[in-house]
Amino acid sequence: MKINKVYARFYKSFNYDHHRKAHRDAEPRPWEMIGELWYPYIEVPIDARITTIVGANESGKSHLLGAISKAISGEDFKHQDLCRYCDFFNVERGNDFWPHLGIAWSDVTEDEVGKIRSEVASAPDSFESFLMFRQGPDKLELYFSTSTGIFHREELLNAAARDFGKSVLPRVFTIQSNVALPGALPTSELVTGQSGVLRDRQTRKRSFDVLDILRGVYSADQTRFAKDLPGLAPKLGPIISELDESPATQDELRKSYTLARKLLLHLANVEPERLVELGQFIDAGENGHVTALVESINQQLEKRLNFPKYWVQDRDFQLRVAALESDLVFTIRDRTGTQYTFDERSAGLKYFLSYFIQSQTHEPDPDRPEILLMDEPDAYLSAEAQQDLLKIFRGFAEPDGDARPVQVVYVTHSPFLLDKNRAERIRVLQKGKGSDGTRVIKDASQNHYEPLRSAFGSYVGETAFIGACNLLVEGTADQVLLAAFHERSSAAAYRAKVSY
């Protein structure tokens, strides 16, 4: 099954659809009613393959990703997510009102129908689509269309609502846009993560600076040492304060190290025992064994990575490792044959490598469809790198071979992450006036992309010149037709080199 539409009301910046309620021809639907009151959901259509969510700052783009995840899983509902300017936000005793989130599902298979009926025995014998609405974590409403045009409604409460669909609804996963590949991986972190405080190379160096200062005044005479120690405070204070890392920094390090291990163990398919040996040899100073193992790891990275397929800016790019002190350092070799550390290259490359590793090491669910969510991946990437990222998204949505397609929904501020030949995949969100909250702009590609220009604060047309070779056509229709003809007629290997 696939997501066809997302529904939200009273959730963060999503209040309800004021425009639909004010329309004289609009009629209430069963799931829009709260008693005798009519509160239409804000509806966001989702493309069967890739959906691009755009909008100005604070327009509710990222909120939509959270709405999708919570509506499917029923987890992480919080009272603090209730829209603060909705009619139900108050502190009155007994008020236990929750945000309302829903999903319209389509392309439901016979096998999925059977699994749903095993949880909801009174569901119809056959259906290809249905709607589900969560009114908090403990109440779920299901709506099935019938031949009479009247919806068949089922209500699940408490545990039945929380557990619904665990074995049949698509699994949501994310590519984390704020996690970068680290510049080095400590030998203690090569195979398994450590539970203690993590230190990167820079903080470990500061620790050695502290030891050097203490060693300079150390004396076997304990009385003298105790007397000299207070005078070191001005030197030690600034260093020690820099060593006190926040939990957020620790969490970032832990995620970065986990990513590096995935690169070595899963993507490069390095034997874990060899990494254990490498760590032991580095610590013992056995340089001959270290050199041999490092060279073998580099050969494995070159053979397994296939990174140039996605990073078109440098087809000769190579990711390599080198042993330095107590670390396995990641380095980069470019088209000039020169080798650089990560500190000498842009942050964009580190983050693109992160996205690439996360996508390539993703393990598909063997039993359920999947949905990929990604929030603002453009923050660290150049225009050309963003075009490369679109290839990763297409690899999920339109995979080669027999792999199951993954629905992709991502949020962006950048016009370079738009497929202007697929205007039907673009959704523009806009913050309304007063208590209107977030609303969806329909037909965003019409009127010369005016809603997009307003959302980005720039002219989309100005982003056309992003390739090394450009072909200009007279009208938008010419561009779309030419792109479609090219996709149908060109070889895949050549098509991969062309963007529109």
Name the residue with higher pLDDT: 43 or 495.
43
Listed residue (142, 101, 136, 102) closest to 121, CA to CA: 142
Same domain as 164, residue 202: no
Residue 86 has a pLDDT of 95
pLDDT on residue 446: 58
- Bridge partner residues of 47 (DSSP): none
Among 150, 170, 190, identify where a domain stops. 170
- 148 and 220 inside one domain: no
Residues 165 and 213 in one domain: no
**Same domain, yes or no: 108 and 29:** yes
Take residue 341 and report the two structure tokens written for it.
């550390």
Question: Is pLDDT of 35 > 80?
Answer: yes
473: helix, strand or coil: coil
What is the model's pLDDT at position 218?
66
Q: Can you give the pLDDT at residue 315? A: 73
Which residue spans within 27-179 are E strands per DSSP? 33-34, 37-38, 42-45, 50-55, 100-106, 130-135, 139-144, 152-157, 171-174
Decide if 104 contacts 31 (C-beta within 8 A). no
What distance in Å separates the CA atoms of residue 371 and residue 385, rounded to the nearest whole number?
Answer: 23
b/e for 312-321, b at 16 or more Cβ within 10 A?
A: bbeeebbbbb
> Would residue 103 count as lying in a domain?
yes
Give the CA distances from residue 500 to residues 82, 243, 379, 469, in Å, rounded to whole numbers and listed in that order: 41, 48, 22, 11
Q: In the sheet where 130-135 sits, what is the strand order? A: 42-45, 2-9, 100-106, 130-135, 139-144, 152-157
Q: Is residue 36 situated within a structural domain?
A: yes
At residue 455 the predicted structure's pLDDT band, cuts being 50, 70 and 90, is low
Residues 76 and 126 in one domain: yes
Please give the residue that has the higher pLDDT: either 464 or 196: 196
Q: Can you give the pLDDT at residue 465?
A: 43
Q: Cβ(250)–Cβ(197) under 8 Å?
A: yes
Question: Could you tell me if residue 439 is inside a domain?
Answer: no
Q: Which structural domain range is residue 240 located in?
A: 198-244
Report percent pLDDT > 70 for the chain. 82
Cα dihedral 261, 265, 271, 275 in deg (nearest 10)? -10
| pLDDT digits 0-9 by tens, 325-356 | 888 999 988 888 888 888 787 788 889 999 99
In whole angstroms, give the CA distance from residue 443 to residue 229: 72
What three-state secondary structure class fits 6? strand
**Residues 155 and 206 occupy one common structural domain:** no
The whole-angstrom separation of Cα 112 and Cα 80 is: 34
Choice among 121-130, 146-155, 161-170, 207-216 with the minimum mean pLDDT: 207-216
Asked whether the predicted pLDDT for residue 296 surpasses 90, the reply is: yes
Whether 462 is in a domain gets the answer no
Residues 112 and 221 in one domain: no
**Are 18 and 125 in a shared domain?**
yes
Instruction: Judge if 76 and 215 occupy the same domain.
Output: no
Instruction: Say if 412 falls within a structural domain.
Output: no
Same domain for 126 and 42: yes
Q: Is 175 a member of any domain?
A: no
Model-level pTM?
0.82
Give the pLDDT confidence score for residue 170 in this predicted structure: 98
Q: Do 202 and 161 share a domain, yes or no? A: no
Query: What local confidence, expressed as pLDDT, does residue 349 receive?
Result: 85
229 or 18: which leads in pLDDT? 18
Specify the higher pLDDT residue, 433 or 467.
433
In a domain, 159, yes or no: yes
Is position 292 within any domain? no
Residue 234 has pLDDT above 60, yes or no: yes
The count of domains in the chain is 3
User: Of the residues 244, 265, 280, which one is the last residue of a structural domain?
Assistant: 244
| Sheet-wide strand order for 50-55 | 171-174, 370-375, 407-411, 50-55, 426-431, 438-441
Percent of the chain with pLDDT over 90: 54
Is pLDDT at 197 greater than 80 in this prediction?
no
Q: What is the pLDDT of residues 416-436, one digit of tens each?
A: 898 877 888 999 999 888 889
- Which tens digits make up the pLDDT trace of 367-391? 999 999 999 998 888 888 898 899 9
Q: Is 172 left (phi over 0), alpha (psi -120 to 50) or beta?
A: beta
The kind and range of the H/E element at 281 are: helix 272-284
Count other C-beta atoms under 10 Å from residue 166's C-beta: 13
Do both 26 and 77 map to the same domain?
Answer: yes
> Strand, coil or helix: what is 313?
coil
Final residue of a structural domain among 216, 244, 272: 244
